Amino acid sequence: MKTVNVSGLKNNPSEALRMAHEDLVLVMNRNEPDALMIGLKSAKIIGMPGVRKALATALFKDGELSLARSAKLADMPLANFIAHVSRLGIPVINQTAEEVQDDMDTLEQWLKQA
């Protein structure tokens, strides 16, 4: 196991990531263990059944990844990923009522011009 302190992580995150590709990296904060970095590929976690899909779903739900990038991470066609998150009750489009009304108004204006 390798260690890095918080300031070292802040100053050179790439080095910490490189270390995590080889081994577990313990992040120390004021001489106390604070976090553990695990290289997903080197630990072969990312290849375990369901991990990619679960990670992609969580990142999409939290707004950290777009729909398309989440589908790619999950190694799923976009339509299948949309069906997957829909089954879980995760909205694919997240708009307020006002945003929906604005879109409908724009659509009506566009249709009048056509």
Digits of tens for pLDDT over the chain (114 positions)?
A: 999 999 989 999 999 999 998 889 999 999 899 999 988 877 788 888 899 999 999 999 999 999 999 999 999 999 999 999 999 999 998 888 899 899 999 999 999 997
Spans of all domains in the chain = 2-37, 51-87
Considering the entire predicted model, what is its pTM?
0.66
Question: Under a CB-based contact definition with an 8 Å cutoff, are residues 5 and 29 in contact?
Answer: yes
